[in-house]
């Protein structure tokens, strides 16, 4: 993740939980003297917990050994991030904000000390994903295995792999804290992508982790770490233990289209077909989204929405900002029917809309 991305503002509530493991032991004695612990109990107390810890440690090390070679460092002219090897043809998936507006990159893989060169295939900022391709595929390049995000459960142990602060091949550990989060990025104070169904994790996500791998203990990539939450009460500093990753299933959907067709042709995300801007009321509070342009033939156009209209509600969701509009649409699907409430010349109107595709 580039440094500005680390300051992106989270616009969704985050709930964290913790659990404790309680160990209970019992013993029995005979007669009035000090109770003597049974041999099995002694063995369980002495070796049981260390054995479990050793098993977990071995599993960590196995996953890291198998997956870390698939995680690369990506150097743009001024920004540094991470990426995941997607296939044996040299395609690497990363975040769109890692590649920015650039076309050529230096990539350091686990098996090559000298950076390799890579070229942008396509960037899709709407989902903050991009694919680059190595100009020359080195021997031993290993593609990662992506998991099914639908099977990800809260409490699963996760490992985040990437290059935080330029420290390549770094690993942090945590759990899946929540699933299904809709998160809006806010790079440098401006509007950014609104991404649905993100995986929330307690694994540390730092600048440089963006585009890396969030991995389960089966060695499957369940997400692409993208941003960490910031706490406005702490001056916008990163909130510890609240990071977000684009779900692996969405990464596969987008990357497959880019690799096969050179672009994203089916986003699966709903849209009104407008551009807009946030407007404020007399107290300078956000009060809706003013329509700036309407795409001919798209959802808003067919519903009779015109430039100058101010959208205040989509379905049951109140719309106060362009971000809240994006968040309202994030969980909807193209073709879905809803209602849009807007004002025109001071008169409020509600119309039915069949949503188009982003």
Q: From CA 240, how far away is CA 196, in angstroms rounded?
A: 22
Dihedral, CA of residue 226, residue 229, residue 232 and residue 235, to nearest 10 = -70
Q: Which residue has the higher pLDDT, 199 or 168?
A: 199
- DSSP-derived pairing of the beta strands 145-146 and 220-231: parallel
Checking if the pLDDT of 213 tops 90, the result is yes
Q: Which residues contact 28 (CB under 8 A, 6 or more apart)?
A: 35, 38
pLDDT tens for residues 271-288? 999 999 999 998 889 899
Read off the pLDDT of residues 27-85 as tens digits, 9 standing for 90 and up.
223 333 433 433 333 344 444 445 577 888 999 999 999 999 999 999 988 789 999 99
Contacts of 284 (CB under 8 A, 6+ apart): none
Highest mean pLDDT among 44-53, 94-103, 160-169, 187-196: 94-103
Q: How confident is the model at residue 185 (pLDDT cuts 50, 70, 90)?
A: confident
Q: Of the listed 70, 163, 210, 249, which one is catalytic?
A: 210
Q: What is the pTM of this model?
A: 0.75
Query: Taking the domains of the chain in order of start, what are their residue ranges?
Result: 1-10+45-266, 270-357
- Has residue 25 got a pLDDT over 60? no
| CB atoms closer than 10 angstroms to residue 157 | 17
Residue 236 reports pLDDT greater than 60? yes
Dist CA 323 CA 238 (whole Å): 21
> What pLDDT digit, counting tens, does each position of 305-315 carry?
999 999 999 99
Phi, psi values for residue 94, rounded to 5°: -155, -170
Give the residue with greater pLDDT, 322 vs 83: 83
Fold annotation for 270-357: Pdz3 Domain (2.30.42)
Task: Express the helix, strand and coil content of the chain in percent, nearest 5 each.
Answer: 25, 40, 40
Q: Does 77 qualify as catalytic in the annotation?
A: no
Question: Which pLDDT value is given to residue 284?
Answer: 86
Q: For residue 192, what pLDDT is reported?
A: 73
Q: Is 233 a catalytic residue?
A: no
CA distance 182 to 247: 11
Percent of the chain with pLDDT over 70: 83
Q: What percent of the chain has pLDDT over 90?
A: 59
From 2, 79, 128, 216, the catalytic residue: 128
Question: Which residue in the list 2, 70, 97, 177 is annotated as catalytic?
Answer: 97
Using DSSP's 3-state secondary structure scheme, residue 8 falls into coil
DSSP code for 35: P
Catalytic residue list contains 18: no
Q: At the topology level of CATH, where does 1-10+45-266 sit?
A: Thrombin, subunit H (2.40.10)
- The pair of structure tokens assigned to 338 is 């809803």
Q: How much is the pLDDT for 211?
A: 95
- Nearest Cα neighbor of 337 from 317, 358, 314, 320 is 314
């Amino acid at each position: 993740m580039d440094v500005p991305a680390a300051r992106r503002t989270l616009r969704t509530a985050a709930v964290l939980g913790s659990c404790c493991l309680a160990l209970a032991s019992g013993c029995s004695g005979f007669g009035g003297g000090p109770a003597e612990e049974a041999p099995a109990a002694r063995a369980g107390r002495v070796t049981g917990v260390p054995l479990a810890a050793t098993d977990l440690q071995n599993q960590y090390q196995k996953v890291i050994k198998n997956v870390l070679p698939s995680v690369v460092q990506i150097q743009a002219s001024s920004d540094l991030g991470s990426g995941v090897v997607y296939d044996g043809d040299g395609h690497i998936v990363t975040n769109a904000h890692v590649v920015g507006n650039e076309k050529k990159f230096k990539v350091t893989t686990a098996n090559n000390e000298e950076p390799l060169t890579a070229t942008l295939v396509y960037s899709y900022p709407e989902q903050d994903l991009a694919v680059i391709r190595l100009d020359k595929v080195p021997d031993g390049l290993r593609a990662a295995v992506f998991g099914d995000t639908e099977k990800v459960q809260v409490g699963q142990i996760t490992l985040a792999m990437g290059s935080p602060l330029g420290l390549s091949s770094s690993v942090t550990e945590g759990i899946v804290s929540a699933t299904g989060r809709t998160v809006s990025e806010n790079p440098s104070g401006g509007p950014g992508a609104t991404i649905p169904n993100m995986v929330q994790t307690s694994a540390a996500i730092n600048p440089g982790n963006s585009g890396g791998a969030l991995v389960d203990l089966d060695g499957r990539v369940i997400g692409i770490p993208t941003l960490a939450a910031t706490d406005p009460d702490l001056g916008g500093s990163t909130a510890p233990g609240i990071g977000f990753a684009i779900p692996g299933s969405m990464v596969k959907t987008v990357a497959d289209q880019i690799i096969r067709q050179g672009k994203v042709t089916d986003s699966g995300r709903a849209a009104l077909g407008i551009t807009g801007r946030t407007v404020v009321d007399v107290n300078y509070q956000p009060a809706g989204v003013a329509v700036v342009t309407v795409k001919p033939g798209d959802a808003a156009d067919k519903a009779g929405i015109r430039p100058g209209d101010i959208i205040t509600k989509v379905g049951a969701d109140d719309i106060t900002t362009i971000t809240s509009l994006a968040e309202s649409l994030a969980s909807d699907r193209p073709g879905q029917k809803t209602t849009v409430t807007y004002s025109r010349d001071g008169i409020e109107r509600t119309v039915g809309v069949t949503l188009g595709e982003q």
